[in-house]
Amino acid sequence: MAEMIIDGVAVEFTDEKNLLEVVRKAGIELPTFCYHSELSIYGACRMCMVEVEGRGMVASCSVPPEEGLVVRTNTPKLQRSRRMILELLLANHHRDCTTCEKSGACKLQDLAQRMGVRQVRFGYREKMLPIDTSSPAIVRDPNKCILCGDCVRVCSEVQGIGVLDFANRGSEAVVSPAFGKNLADVDCVNCGQCVSVCPTGALVVRSEIQDVFEALNDPEKVVVAQIAPAVRVAIGEEFGLEPGQVAMGQMVASLKKMGFAKVFDTSFAADLTVLEETHEFLERLQKGEKLPQFTSCCPGWVKYAEQYHPELLDQLSSCRSPQQMFGSVAKRFLAKELGVEPQNLVVVSIMPCTAKKFEAKRPEFTNQIDGVKVADVDHVLTTGELARMIKEYGLDFNNLEPESLDMPFGLSSGAGMIFGNSGGVAEAVLRAASEMATGQSSLQVNFSEVRGLEGIREAEVDVAGTKVRLAVVHSLSNVKELLKKLAAGEVAYDLIEVMACPGGCIGGGGQPIPNDTNARAKRRKGLYSVDRQQTLRKSQDNPLLKNLYNKYLKEPGGELSHQLLHTEYGTRRRIAGEEINLVTNNGKSKVEVAVCVGTCCYLGGSYNTLQELLRRVKEEGLQERVDVRATFCLENCAGSPSVQIGDEVIGGSDPSSVDKLMEKIKGKLQ
């Protein structure tokens, strides 16, 4: 325990990482844009400046606490400095605040009000950059970016992808995907974590609110909703409730008042997923093939695997996600029971996840039904979008009389509900596996070994006399680390649950802000509490699920089940675009060299390899004989960074391998 003086008051500190945390511990909320406790220190916005006796003004986020420091947080000099920073940010910011998607929840707007900025003494932004609407999940408006770098760091540090970074210098500086590409043309997995940390409207969820309202007002359409498990413990945050507080009844009431004909629970489809995935896993385990089996509920993870690890696609469970299983069943069976043509049944998903918008639009999930092309899921609303719809409709959410879900897809087990937590899918499968393997009922329900918020967790569980090795991993940077160990033979598993977002679906990119560790922990606790209160704790005990199989699907893994509830995925080029010619050959015979500068290879040092190759080619006078190009993908993601010399693709080509690469080039010249 040590002590410092903050604004004349002695404040004790222990393991706080920086002055900012100690100041906040003292009850003083210093403003910040670029500080997030889960990300690296950046110190760019300078809003958290304090005066330290003997040192002057310092950024409190980047200074460690010390015994005896005398700190002042709100001197006239600091107040003027903060207001000036805000004015400069506003001067370069497209100030369409009244119509901005983030209006009312914008940190820049909030701090300008809080700091008393009533006028901006500088001109307006002159040059307007194009808005990127290419992604089905995220809209990027560079005109509202304040260069805080939050999105850059979360994409690189938490997700390990790095599709966003700083480009250009000085007044031309922007945050952008590589080479000015659109988000849809790069490695973005649509997870929306960048949206969660963006303090302004520079990155927002692509809204489908108006599309849903139009469907609700179309007399020919019957609109039904499915609600994901993680939404029920987060929606209340938008209306002043604590994270983790279950508000399912009010949510159902809201949807019905807005005109939804039926409201169902995606947890029912999660139960369906458990039966199909467990059946598939037990078959693979018995045959000893396609192991470890990876879960496939998370569309962000699936796209990541398609981009970076197509060699693992056969090991992904072929099961569709619960969202897509529900849509498939609804369009084919529920439509018949409601007497509605499939194309007139509008399925709206309420999800914590922005990647679900991308998933719903995948071509695999649009099929011919009775000769008509129909999407299984028509629209996806995030938790935040639903909250805005409720507010726009004028509903008093907290005082609504709770209503119940509709049958036949409104009854679910606790196993289906914990799908929203990291570890929930694995635990649900374990609850079913032993009984499905032996045909005998089991009293074991809780598998605490797979629970927790650690990025990578391991467990070994007995399933019908067989030791099953499991791993549970969330956040794609952790996935990257685990897959490296798996490829190197350092670890071995039978089942791996993967979720792209921190904490799983509870931390999805469409959840309320703040979407931080504290909020995720409370949401996680709320879902496990819901599970404990359920009469049915195991998916296989759901009687309405049994009815679905008896009436339509027949059996898990059967012919119709496989047709409607399973799918397959293929390799995906991570970045599309033209090649960049860097050295010309003037028409002479040449050796063609292509260096991949796509994100995966770039992070492995391929840009430095490219620069060194160019230098060596010039140094050895080979410009006329060697054509060096940068390209965006050599389809060798697993072996990145990659260089192609002639027809040969050489993996692991980092800067240290340039000598060997030059030997190969010279060999081709002989």
Output the CA torsion 651→574→327→548 (10° steps). 0
Whether 290 and 214 share a structural domain: yes
**Domain-located, residue 639:** yes
Whether 189 and 214 share a structural domain: no
Whether 92 and 12 share a structural domain: no
pLDDT in tens, 278-303: 999 999 999 999 999 999 999 999 99
Assess whether 364 carries a catalytic annotation: yes
Whether 200 and 221 share a structural domain: no
pLDDT in tens, 632-648: 788 788 788 999 998 88
Kindly name the residue from 12, 364, 555, 620 that is annotated as catalytic: 364
Assess whether 624 carries a catalytic annotation: no
Assess whether 522 carries a catalytic annotation: no
25-29, 324-328, 594-598: segment of lowest average pLDDT: 594-598
Whether 199 and 216 share a structural domain: no
**Domain-located, residue 570:** no
Whether 593 and 519 share a structural domain: no
Whether 224 and 158 share a structural domain: no
Kindly name the residue from 297, 501, 600, 601 that is annotated as catalytic: 297
C-alpha closest to that of 384 among 351, 356, 361, 422: 351
Whether 646 and 528 share a structural domain: no
For the packed helices 383-393 and 248-258, what is the interaxial angle rounded to 10 degrees? Answer: 60
pLDDT in tens, 393-440: 999 999 999 999 999 999 999 999 999 999 999 999 999 998 888 888
Kindly name the residue from 51, 208, 237, 280 that is annotated as catalytic: 280
**Domain-located, residue 242:** yes
Kindly name the residue from 107, 262, 331, 356 that is annotated as catalytic: 356
* Predicted confidence (pLDDT) at residue 144 exceeds the cutoff of 70: yes
Assess whether 619 carries a catalytic annotation: no
Assess whether 317 carries a catalytic annotation: yes
**Domain-located, residue 487:** yes
Kindly report the average pLDDT of the chain as a whole number: 91
pLDDT in tens, 84-121: 999 989 988 888 888 888 988 899 999 999 988 988 88
Cα angle, residue 141 at apex, residues 46 and 354 outer, rounded to 5°: 100
Distance CA 313, CA 379 (A): 27
Assess whether 359 carries a catalytic annotation: yes
* Predicted confidence (pLDDT) at residue 18 exceeds the cutoff of 60: yes
How many domains would you assign to the chain?
4
Whether 508 and 420 share a structural domain: yes
**Domain-located, residue 611:** yes
Last residue within a domain, chosen from 155, 188, 205: 205
Residue 487: CB atoms within 10 A of its CB come to 13
| CATH code for the domain in which residue 112 is found | 3.30.70.20
**Domain-located, residue 650:** yes
Q: What is the predicted pLDDT for the residue at 468?
A: 92
Kindly name the residue from 237, 238, 277, 435 that is annotated as catalytic: 277
The three-class DSSP label of residue 16 is coil
**Domain-located, residue 9:** yes
Last residue within a domain, chosen from 536, 565, 594: 565
Domain that holds residue 499: 209-391+412-565
pLDDT in tens, 548-571: 999 999 999 899 999 999 999 888
Last residue within a domain, chosen from 144, 178, 205: 205
Q: How far does Cα 452 stand from its chain's mean position?
A: 19
Kindly name the residue from 176, 267, 296, 317 that is annotated as catalytic: 317
Assess whether 38 carries a catalytic annotation: no
| CATH code for the domain in which residue 659 is found | 3.40.30.10
Kindly name the residue from 359, 385, 435, 497 that is annotated as catalytic: 359
Assess whether 101 carries a catalytic annotation: no
Q: What is the predicted pLDDT for the residue at 584?
A: 47
